[in-house]
Amino acid sequence: MMNNYKRIGDYIKSVKVFNSDLRAKELLGINIDKFFMPSVANVVGTDLSRYKIVEKNQFACNRMHVGRDYRIPVALSDRDEPFMVSPAYDVFEIKDTSILHAEYLMMWFSRAEFDRNAWFYTDADVRGGLAWKAFCDMQLPVPSIEKQPEIVKEYNTIVNRIKLNEQLNQKLEETARAIYKHWFVDFEFPFDLCQSELVEDLTQIDYSKGYKSSGGEMVWNNELGKEIPKEWEDCNFGEFVETINGFAFKSEGFSEYGTIPILKIKSIQPPIIKTDDVEYYYQEINEQLERVAIERGDILITMTGSGVNQINSAVGQVGRYYYNKKALMNQRVCKLKPKAEYLNEFIYLFVSSEEIHMNLLYGSTGSANQANISPNQIKSLKTISPNKEILIAFENIVSKISDCKRIPQQDKLIELKNLLLSKMTKVETEKEVV
């Protein structure tokens, strides 16, 4: 098969155009997931004329940290307007687009196998840089120019579907959070929910008539430091949940294959729990392990992570499990089990809010690189205690929104996308240009 492979460097050329006339205004970086994103670099007082320009259909890559990150950040620009990237980045383009399609090459760069190969060729530096020559010496199969767009089209169909699903899931998450805020922060839950004669039949309730704006009585609560609806109280979060710690599995209990995924800290990627990069438990599930079994709808939180300086990987990340298959929970992951079925949505939206996440972060112990929280810290969080009827109505509405999320379908699409990428090695190349 490798006899049909061609050297990448034979198809690309380096481009070094600097922003000397300051025509590019936006500075972008490259995510490890291989797309351009707004740079977080502080450029105040920086000479931006030294930064490199990226035009449409040009690539940029960062070869400096491949050994550390186990990936090579590389992205293809589809933007009509030029933008800047760091002077340390490489910018390059296809030499002859009648031989190699830019999107086909980007597909090859997106393969996990490409990253592993790049890592193999990194130098001995602590960060593991990849030399430009080594990058160019890497190889790929080059089918006919007629075949390449067909492969790209099939791939993009799946990628676009994944994006649409992501957008739908995000909108559903935002909608649920907006309702939570409207009811339990702004106190604009339906006023009729306070009328006991109407609570029995939720269809009779006027959901447009908010409590606070309709003159509902508010009282000051010293513990929470704000006004809350009359008859509501403050309480500790532990009155709503039980905490169940994960199990300290031994490595010999893990397998790359199986039917029962073991959920670790890295599996929790808010607002969901992912199962596409897990190990499996292949032995019998005994009574002890049944305690840490996870099922659809369960809420998990990370008990260990980074501190406040690295929010995206910080301790206290909350995710929800949306799969119909059973899973098991590893150590330093904690399950939040509602004490009543009608508390599920309220619990999830409370504990996963930005305010509560920061509260847990600043109360964590340990170092900036490894912070920890405890079950008692979670249970001692202060919250409101609404009327039971209001919580039941909220659960009834928001659970329908959660049920619409397409997380398992999303995983199937990602699996199909990866399959298409892996099949690139089997592409017919006899019509290729040599």
State the pLDDT at residue 431. Answer: 45
* pLDDT tens, position by position, 157-199: 999 999 999 999 999 999 999 999 999 999 999 988 876 554 5
Kindly tell me if the per-residue pLDDT of 126 is higher than 60: no
Kindly tell me if the per-residue pLDDT of 223 is higher than 90: yes
State the pLDDT at residue 432. Answer: 42
Summary mean pLDDT of the chain:
89
Kindly tell me if the per-residue pLDDT of 125 is higher than 70: no
What DSSP element (H or E) covers 103? helix 102-109
- Give the residue-averaged pLDDT of 81-101: 96
State the pLDDT at residue 1. Answer: 44
Token representation of residue 163: 């994006």
Position 433 confidence tier, pLDDT thresholds 50, 70, 90? very low
Phi and psi dihedrals of 306, rounded to 5?
-80, 170
Token representation of residue 207: 């959901």
Whole-number Cα distances in Å, 332 to 268, 347, 369, 419: 12, 20, 15, 32
* pLDDT tens, position by position, 5-63: 899 999 999 999 999 999 999 999 998 889 999 987 888 888 999 999 999 999 999 99
Contacts of residue 118, defined as CB under 8 A and 6 or more positions apart, other chains included, come to 66, 71, 72, 130, 135, 138
State the pLDDT at residue 244. Answer: 97
- Ordered domains of the chain (ranges, CATH): 2-144 (3.90.220.20), 146-232+386-425 (1.10.287.1120), 234-383 (3.90.220.20)
State the pLDDT at residue 283. Answer: 81
Cα–Cα distance between 103 and 76 in angstroms, integer? 8
Token representation of residue 263: 């959920």
State the pLDDT at residue 275. Answer: 86
Q: 């186990």: which residue's tokens?
A: 70
* pLDDT tens, position by position, 334-377: 999 999 999 999 999 999 999 999 999 888 888 877 899 999 99
Kindly tell me if the per-residue pLDDT of 305 is higher than 50: yes
Question: Could you tell me if residue 220 is left (phi over 0), alpha (psi between -120 and 50 degrees) or otherwise beta?
Answer: beta
Among 231, 172, 177, which Cα is nearest to 355's?
177
Token representation of residue 179: 């309702």
Kindly tell me if the per-residue pLDDT of 430 is higher than 80: no
The model carries a pTM of 0.81
Kindly tell me if the per-residue pLDDT of 93 is higher than 70: yes
